[in-house]
Amino acid sequence: MTRILVVDDDPQILRALRINLRARSYDVDVAPDGAAALRSVVDHPCDLVVLDLGLPDMDGVEVIHGLRGWTDVPIIVLSGRASGEDKVAALDAGADDYVTKPFGVDELLARIRAVTRRLSSGAEGSPVVTIGEHVVDLANREVRSPDSTEVRLTPTEWQLLEILLRNPGKLISQRYLLQQVWGPSYWSETNYLRQYMAQLRHKLEAEPSRPRHLVTEPGMGYRFRP
C-alpha cells in the first residue's frame, strides 16, 4: 500500500484530496503546515509527499529543503503561482513535479501514478518478456533459459522477434515483417520468414514443430501469444 502525505493549509482541498486518494486505495496522511509536515515524515515514513507551496508558517521551498536533507521521498508540489521562477526554485530544491492550481484531480492522480511507478520499478532490472521457459530481455539483447544453456540470437532473428514481442497477441502481416526487417522491396520474399521463424522456434519453443507462442496464421502472418 502506498502512503501519501498531503500538506495544505486549505481544509477544503485537504478534504477533497483525502477522499479522492482514499478512493484509489492510497493511505493518506495530512498536515496543515510545514512544521507538521516535517514532523509527520520523521515519525511516519511515507512514499510520496503532495506539498502546497502556500503554507502559513514557512516557505514551501524550505519544506522541500528540510525533507531533502535526509530523505529521497518523491515530492509533488501544488502551487497557485504559475511563474517560471517559482517552478524552477521548487524543482531545483528537490521537488519531482510541479502542478499549477487550479488543477484537475485526474491530472494530479496521473502524476502521482507516474512518480510512484518509477519509484517501485527503480530497483528492478530491465523489462523482460517470458516466452515459454525462456526469458527475453529486449533492452539488453539477452535470452536467459532455465537450464542455463546459452541461447544466442543473430541480428536478423532479434529484429524479427522484437517486432512480434512488442505487439503481444497481435497479428502481424508477412508484408509488414518483411518490410521492417529486410526493407520495402522484400515484401514478397516469404521464404525468408519461413526460414527465420523456424530458427526462432528451434531456439525458443519447447517443441519447435508444435509452436505455442510463435504461431502462424495461415495466409496472413504471425502472432506472438504470451
Sites of contact with its own copies (CB under 8 A): 66, 68-72, 74, 84-85, 87-88, 91-92, 94-98, 104, 106-107, 109-111, 113-114, 117-118, 121-122, 126-127, 138-142, 154-155, 158, 162, 165-166, 169-171, 217-220
* Cβ contact 205:211 at 8 Å: yes
- By beta-carbon proximity to DNA, the closer residue of 25 and 185 is 185
- In sequence order, the 6+-apart residues with CB closer than 8 A to the CB of 219 are none
Return the range that interacts with DNA (CB under 7 A); candidates 59-67, 77-85, 106-114, 153-161: 153-161
Residue window 193-212: x/- pattern of binding to DNA, with contact defined by CB under 7 A: xxx-xx--x------xx-x-
Cell 478512493 belongs to: 23
Please work out the total of residues on this chain that contact DNA, with binding judged by CB under 7 A.
Answer: 24
* Cβ contact 90:49 at 8 Å: no
Binding partner of residue 60 among DNA, its own copies, none, CB under 5 to 8 Å per kind? Answer: none
In the list 14, 164, 174, 177, the residue contacting DNA (rule: CB under 7 A) is 174
Phi-psi region of 33 (alpha: psi -120 to 50; beta: other; left: phi over 0): beta
- By beta-carbon proximity to DNA, the closer residue of 137 and 189 is 189
Binding partner of residue 118 among its own copies, DNA, none, CB under 5 to 8 Å per kind? Answer: its own copies
> Does the protein bind DNA through residue 122 (CB under 7 A)?
no
Binding partner of residue 150 among DNA, its own copies, none, CB under 5 to 8 Å per kind? Answer: none
Closest CA to 157 of 102, 196, 215: 196
Return the range that interacts with DNA (CB under 7 A); candidates 11-19, 65-73, 89-97, 154-162: 154-162
Binding partner of residue 190 among its own copies, DNA, none, CB under 5 to 8 Å per kind? Answer: DNA
* Cβ contact 20:12 at 8 Å: no
Give the binding site for DNA (CB under 7 A).
152, 154-157, 174, 182, 189-195, 197-198, 201, 208-209, 211, 216, 218-220
